[in-house]
Amino acid sequence: MNRNIIASIAIVTLLIAGCASAGKPGEKPLAGSAAAPETFILKKDTLAGTLQLPGELIAFQQVDIYAKVSSFVKELRADLGTEVKEGQLLVILEAPEITSQLLAAESRLRSQEALYAASKANYERLLETSRTPGTVSKNELDQAEARKNSDLAQLEAAKAIYKEVNTMKGYLEIRAPFSGIISARNVNPGAFVGPAGKGSELPLFTLQEQKKLRLTVAIPEAYTGSLHTGDEVRFSVRSLPGEEFSARVSRMAGALDVRLRSEKIEMDVHNHDKKLLPGMVAEVKLAPGKNDSAFVVPKTAVVRSSEGVFMVKAADGIARRVEVRTGREQNNRTEVFGSLKVGETFISKAGEELRDGSVLPAGTK
């Protein structure tokens, strides 16, 4: 009997001890038991390879052609897709009121020419006669000279009006300002047209130079110092898979877009075979030169959160967040830029849980 009681007491004691050692479910280990995070020493390096960016092909020159004066379309000499030469006649317009104005201006011009010729002849006769003393008074001679000068001014005004109306009549024939292709036509014969907003909401034609295109790309701020005029770039378009084209940097903006923090560059693309079309999106491959100011770190060392992009520095056992900007990425490594120094120690696998000023586990170096 006593042996059974003693055995029962022993079993209960063991069960209580086991429950106490198991602890509560989900209980976190002590901070001192956490393993020290891996670290690395910051150093400069260069990523090989190319930088891929989206670009756009646009016409080297493009213009929307409107009518200069309010008129009607009399005849179209070009249509959608027509290839035209510089100075080629595109459309003939008609405006009867301009023809009437031209006839009136010409009539006035002829009238003023006759009046000036008469007053000039009268003045010259009086001037010749006045050389004989007492034949012509000085007042009469002055009046004749004033009439001649007045008729001359009226003649010059008539010439200016005639020239202006004649120029307006010249606007009834619209010619191509440069060689290219008509990429849009928005009128038909008989349509009323005029300057933008005064009869024409759309242009008569859109003319594009397509034998030469512009390839425009926005270069991130981090790479603006490694590209120069004359550098070669490669690009491809979706409509021609497997085919690659080349061009050279022709123009650089020399300033950053304040919204995108990037510099716009342009490449001239020769397109005599017309394989490429304005408006195409291109995949541009750039090969920036070596950037000695870049640091290359593991991608896991960079934390992207709602608080920003940063890395965690280990400084005397204390975690310090350092804001950075990233560049190219390759093989799980990335370029970073910021207030960084060679030889500083950073956490290889950082996370948002590492707050600024947190004490790092013992053994972190």
Helix (H, G, I), strand (E, B) or coil at 218: strand
For residues 30 and 335, the model is more confident at 335
The full set of domains in the chain, from first to last, is 34-47+292-347 (2.40.420.20), 51-59+207-286 (2.40.30.170), 96-170 (1.10.287)
Q: CA dihedral defined by 5, 8, 12, 15, rounded to 10 degrees?
A: 160
Q: CA dihedral defined by 293, 299, 302, 308, rounded to 10 degrees?
A: 90
181: its two tokens: 């292709």
In DSSP terms, 68 is beta-bridged to none
Tally of CB atoms within 10 A around 54: 11
pLDDT at 33 over 80: no
Q: What is the mean pLDDT of residues 154-182?
A: 93
Q: What is the pTM of this model?
A: 0.60
Helices first, then strands: H and E counts in the chain: 3, 19
Round the average pLDDT of the chain to a whole number and report it.
85
Q: What pLDDT score does 94 carry?
A: 93
pLDDT at 154 over 90: yes
Chain center to CA of 264: 6
Among 38-42, 153-157, 228-232, the range scoring the smallest mean pLDDT is: 228-232
Q: What pLDDT score does 199 carry?
A: 55
Over residues 209-230, the pLDDT tens digits come to: 999 999 999 988 877 877 888 8
Over residues 252-290, the pLDDT tens digits come to: 999 988 887 889 999 999 999 989 999 999 999 877 655
Over residues 80-130, the pLDDT tens digits come to: 999 999 999 999 999 988 988 999 999 999 999 999 999 999 999 988 888
